Amino acid sequence: MYWNRKAETLKPGELRRLQGKRLKKVTKYVYRNSGFYKKKFRDLGLKPGDIRGVEDLGRLPFTRKSDLRDNYPYGLFCTGLESIVRVHASSGTTGKPTVVGYTGNDIELWTEVMARSIMATGSTRKDVLHVAYGYGLFTGGLGLHYGGERVGCTVIPASGGNTARHLLLMQDLGSTVLACTPSYAVYLAEYAEKEGIDPREDLRLRVGVFGAEPWSEPMRKRIEDALDLKAYDIYGLSEIVGPGVAQECEEQCGAHIWSDHFLPEIVDPETGEQLGEGEEGELVFTTLTKDGIPLLRYRTGDRTILEYDKCSCGRYHPRMIKVRGRVDDMLIIRGVNVFPSQIEHVLLRIPEVGSHYLLVVEREGPLDVLTVKVEVTEDVISDRVRDLMKLEENIKSSISQALGIKVDVELVEPFTLERSKGKAVRLKDLRE
């Protein structure tokens, strides 16, 4: 289903012309309004007039998260605060947060792409949308909220926390769409089971809009089975706008990037060279229509592949194939590149394994040691010790085979690993 049929079904040629027109405009705009970009252009000997269309995108300078931090809080804003109506900030896990500002137009644009995203999952004004993303500086809650209201859904602004209350509200208010992180969806399902709430009988959920952290296909399958809904991936980041930068449609074959507003490209994370269609690399965005804090060629740190062929849903907006993990999530263990998502992929295909795991990396002498702590399901615990050892060996060899390095596996009882109500914590790197 479409929210904005005309924009969502633009043909490749029309889309590229529109992107080119908007790219020229935003280039002039940042040159005129941002001391930061003006200096970058001068350093490169670049004039706004040199950018004639999408084909010149590669000539523009990159922007990095560190640029936002170095110019904290307002240094990259292109308008005065008199035009900014809202501020959001990303959680600063290291040091200061990243602050972004929205003009009235920016909020309108965000609401538009969120409305498109919600309807792309087949949700309509007849749906009751339960928003369990946090409301506040984090963009998840308010992003879904405004988009849901625009579509005409009945929005329940439940926000984060208090799992018992979420389940009570979803039962009593008849929620049909759930929006939260995938790891929280898993937690909700576990909690419901413990409390004797059967999602098939007691809940009316049919759609999940899950994002803000990478998740694997086996994880999707588990959530769909546990909560009896169809789970869709939503992608976004506050630097670009928040959630709603890209959204899976009902075909579930990658998230469509709303590329009339956010122009994507894939670059080699090491060299910054543009990569061709179908090649895996770092996802980079240029915002084409933002006023408050437009960004040129923003390095997201997310690894993906873009596909440009027409989707069966009728959209040509490029699809990002499920994010394999952030460039900086990649671990180097004894010289081998390891993505935590690869491990999740192996684990969640094993039925005796629960949905929670933790990777611990330590250094023993000169060697890195990776231990995967795995929660097993309730049924397994009652099994005989011999079977547990067999299971442990089995998991160990499956992961080692997938990664090409030896790992340790430690089975732990259900509900012993820490649960997160926001983004999941799945890695403890104890190396210096």
Q: Which of 195, 217 has the CB closer to Zn ion?
A: 217
**What pairs with residue 286 in β-bridges?**
263
Q: Which residues bind Zn ion (CB under 5 A)?
A: 249, 251, 311, 313, 315
Q: Which of 248, 291 has the CB closer to Zn ion?
A: 248
- For the CB of residue 306, give the shortest distance to Zn ion in the complex, in Å: 14
Q: Which of 94, 312 has the CB closer to Zn ion?
A: 312
Q: Which is nearest to 131 in space by CA: 139, 122, 123, 141?
A: 141
Q: Which of 116, 303 has the CB closer to Zn ion?
A: 116
- For the CB of residue 307, give the shortest distance to Zn ion in the complex, in Å: 10
**How long is the chain?**
432
- Calpha distance 173→175 (Å, rounded): 6
- For the CB of residue 252, give the shortest distance to Zn ion in the complex, in Å: 8
For residue 371, the one-letter residue type is: T
Q: Which of 317, 356 has the CB closer to Zn ion?
A: 317
- For the CB of residue 310, give the shortest distance to Zn ion in the complex, in Å: 9
For the record, the structure tokens of 301 come out as 């740190």
- For the CB of residue 87, give the shortest distance to Zn ion in the complex, in Å: 33
Torsion of CA 198, 202, 204, 206, to 10 degrees: 0
- For the CB of residue 264, give the shortest distance to Zn ion in the complex, in Å: 15
Q: CA 280, 341, 256, 79 torsion: positive or negative? A: negative
- Calpha distance 115→26 (Å, rounded): 24
Q: Which of 7, 293 has the CB closer to Zn ion?
A: 7
Q: Which of 223, 249 has the CB closer to Zn ion?
A: 249
- For the CB of residue 311, give the shortest distance to Zn ion in the complex, in Å: 3
Q: Which of 117, 175 has the CB closer to Zn ion?
A: 117
- For the CB of residue 251, give the shortest distance to Zn ion in the complex, in Å: 5
Q: Which of 254, 292 has the CB closer to Zn ion?
A: 254
Looking up tokens 């959209």 gives 315
Q: Which of 311, 343 has the CB closer to Zn ion?
A: 311
